[in-house]
Structure 1
Amino acid sequence: MAQRKAFRWHIAVFLAPAVLVYTAIMIVPLFGTLNLSLFNTGEEGRVFVGLRNFATLFGDPRWSASFWNALGNNAWFFLVHMLVQNPVGVALAALLSSPRLRGAAFYRTAIFIPTILSFVIVGFVWKLILSPIWGIAPGMLDAVGLKGLFAPWLGREGTALTTLALISVWQFVGIPMMLIYAALLSIPDEVIEAAEMDGVTGWSQFWKIKLPLILPSIGIISILTFVGNFNAFDLIYVTQGALAGPNFSTDILGTFLYRTFFGFQLQIGDPHMGATIATAMFGIILLGVSFYLFAIQRRLRRYQF
């Protein structure tokens, strides 16, 4: 008769603190937010309204216009990161992983340093740099004969959001760079040696051999970029304020949620509608992550060792 394996109590003991902390600061607030979105405040106090708050958010022109504007800005913010940050991160990782490059450790450190800086510092410094009054950007462009290209990018509706997205790219490009760099180092030497024996070297080796092998890592970076950008708030708030100017052109779901939940200036805070927006954000992120896990990750598994 086969003996039953003894339950490993030490695993539960070591996991319990992490599970308790995660439940206290993530799971409980999440369900509290979902519960809050199903209620509203009426003359009789707190009243259960079901999905009526969501109907108001998506159907009432006073709410839906702001929501769809913020969602569109969030999508553009994410798209800039996907099209600029991640390809640049992959290119930098490929360059820095070359054994012929001298001072690679210094370059990795210099590129990664902005990721550990505070959003307040980054936002304030870039506002100073791009200021048309006392910023250094006009002088730098003038030094290379391109002063005519300068414009108050943070003050124009058409360029403010893209400028902030590029600032965020500058700050966080070190993260995909380091993750891809680690993935490149994990490729077995036998694979590289076999490619070199077949005459595949340089950038041809990267495109034909290395890039397909690091696709799972690129997929993970993409979903992390998606989640991070749809949770973005700090940089927009620091540089453009809660109103996300000019004329809400940089308003994203995070700033829209902040104004709704806590109130700002003449706008009175509404916790129930704020929770509704937060729940909608959770649903959007959940759909994006689920699509990646079930539609993309399965196809990328073929490239894993």
Structure 2
Amino acid sequence: MAQRKQIRWHIAVFLAPAVLVYTAIMIVPLFGTLNLSLFNLDQGNRVFVGLRNFATLFGDPRWSDAFWNALGNNAWFFVIHMLVQNPIGVLLAALLSSPRLRGAAFYRTAIFIPTILSFVIVGFVWKLILSPIWGIAPGMLDAVGLKALFAPWLGKEEYALTTLALVSVWQFVGIPMMLIYAALLSIPDEVIEAAEMDGVTGWAQFWKIKLPLILPSIGIISVLTFVGNFNAFDLIYVTQGALAGPNFATDILGTFLYRTFFGFQLQIGDPHMGATIATAMFGIILLGVCFYLFAIQTRLRRYQF
């Protein structure tokens, strides 16, 4: 008689608390939002409208102009992080992983500290630093003879979003740095020793040996950056307010959602259109993550140990 396979109930017992909490705070609200986006108010009554709210969001100029502006700003916010934050994080990780660098632990801690600071603190401090009236940025540029380069960056439409993206880069560059640093440390010593025996050392070793081996980690960092940037809200709200000034130049999907759902100043809150925007954000993030999983991650697996 074949021995019956033992059911491992302890796995379900240990997973149950996490699954219940995740379901309560993530899955249930997600389906609630999807459901809310399919209804609207008609003379005070809640009626099912199907995809009509999405047609309004994408087709009505009163909504579509604001949505595409926010989406474009979000895309630029993400591009700045991909082109500035992640390469700097890789470079810092490469430098800090060098065995000849002294005080590496201090540098890692100093670079990572901003990531644990509150968005409110970061936004308020940088708003003070960049202020043309009482900020220290003009004085610092003047000390090195570059005061002519100073401008009220947060007050100009063409500079405000890029400035805030760079502030966000300053705050979160420690995350890709630490993840890449951990990936570099996980490379087997045998691979490094073989490269050194072949005469591949220094930066040549990093570009030819280490970088291809950490590509899966760089891919994970990229998708995390995408998800985080398209969920961004706090920094823009703290520094520029819910209107994301000047003239909506820093408006992203998060601030657009906030104004629509809760209302702001003379704008009345509309939970149904707010849920529609939130659903559109979910769809954008889902498409980006699926593209990474099926088009990029499968190609990076060949570099994994």
- TM-score, with normalisation over the residues of structure 1? 0.99
3-state DSSP of counterpart to 2:158: coil
Q: Cα distance, 1:3 vs. partner?
A: 2.0
User: Partner of 1:158: helix, strand, or coil?
Assistant: helix
**Map of 2:215 onto structure 1:** 215
Report Cα offsets for 1:152-193 as digits up to 9, x if no partner: 000000000000000000000000000000000000000000
Aligned mates of 2:133, 2:232 — CA distance in 1: 28
Partner of residue 63, structure 1: 63
Distance in 2 (CA, whole Å) between partners of 1:70 and 1:285 is: 15
Deviation of 1:121 (Å): 0.3
Give the C-alpha shift of residue 6 in structure 1: 1.0
What is the distance in 2 between the residues matched to 1:2 and 1:133? 82
| Structure 1 residue runs of 4 or more that deviate by more than 6 Å after TM superposition | none
Match of 2:163 in 1: 163
Mapping of residues 33-72 of structure 1, within 5 Å? 33-43=33-43, 45-72=45-72
Distance 1:44 1:261, change over 3 A: closer
1:85-121 superposed Cα distances (whole Å, 9 cap, x missing partner):
0000000000000000000000000000000000000
Q: State the SS of the aligned residue for 1:41.
A: strand
Aligned-partner Cα distance in 2 for 1:110–1:184? 20
Q: What's the offset of the Cα at 1:78?
A: 0.2
**2:276 is the alignment partner of 1:276:** yes
Over aligned residues, Cα RMSD in angstroms?
0.5
Displacement of 1:44 in angstroms is: 5.6
Instruction: Find the residue that maps to 1:64 and give its secondary structure.
Output: helix
Q: Match of 2:28?
A: 28
1:142 is matched with 142
Which region of structure 1 is more displaced relative to structure 2, 43-52 or 96-105?
Answer: 43-52
How far apart are the structure 1 equivalents of 2:67 and 2:187?
44
Cα deviation 1:10-33 (Å, max 9, x = unaligned) = 000010010000000000000000
Query: Where do 1:95-110 residues align within 5 Å?
Result: 95-110=95-110
1:256 corresponding residue in structure 2? 256
- Find the aligned partners of 1:154 and 1:127 in 2 and give their Cα distance: 8
Point out the more displaced range, 252-261 or 3-12: 3-12
Which residue number in structure 2 is paired with residue 234 of structure 1?
A: 234
User: Separation in 2 of the partners of 1:154 and 1:201?
Assistant: 44
Cα separation, 2, equivalents of 1:64 and 1:269: 17
Deviations 1:140-161 (A, max 9, x none): 0000000000000000000000
Q: Give the 3 Å change call, closer, same or farther, for CA 54–103 of structure 1 in structure 2.
A: same
SS, match of residue 47 in structure 1: strand
1:205-248 CA-partner distances (Å, limit 9, x unpaired): 00000000000000000000000000000000000000000000
For structure 2, the residue ranges without an aligned partner over 5 or more in a row are: none
Distance 2:18 2:129 in 1: 42
Q: CA deviation at 1:2?
A: 3.2
Aligned residue for 1:151, secondary structure, equals: coil
**Compared CA separation, residues 44 and 112, structure 1 to 2 (3 A):** closer
CA shift for structure 1 position 43: 1.6
Offset, 1:4: 2.7
1:182 has 2:182 as partner = yes
SS at match of 2:100: coil
| Separation in 2, partners of 1:162, 1:174 | 19
Deviation at 1:5, TM superposition (A): 1.3
Identity %: 92
Q: Is the alpha carbon distance of 1:223 and 1:39 closer, same or farther for their aligned partners in structure 2, counting shifts above 3 Å?
A: same
Give the match's secondary structure for 1:219. Answer: helix
What's the CA shift for 1:198?
Answer: 0.1
2:44 and 2:285 map into 1 onto residues whose CA distance is: 35
SS in structure 2 at match of 1:40: strand
User: Number of residues paired by the alignment?
Assistant: 305
CA distance in 1, matches of 2:44, 2:162: 46
1:5 & 1:241 partners in 2: Cα distance?
A: 59
Q: Which runs of 5+ in 1 are unaligned?
A: none
- Aligned equivalents of 1:4 and 1:53: distance in 2? 54
What is the CA distance between 1:41 and its match in structure 2? Answer: 0.5
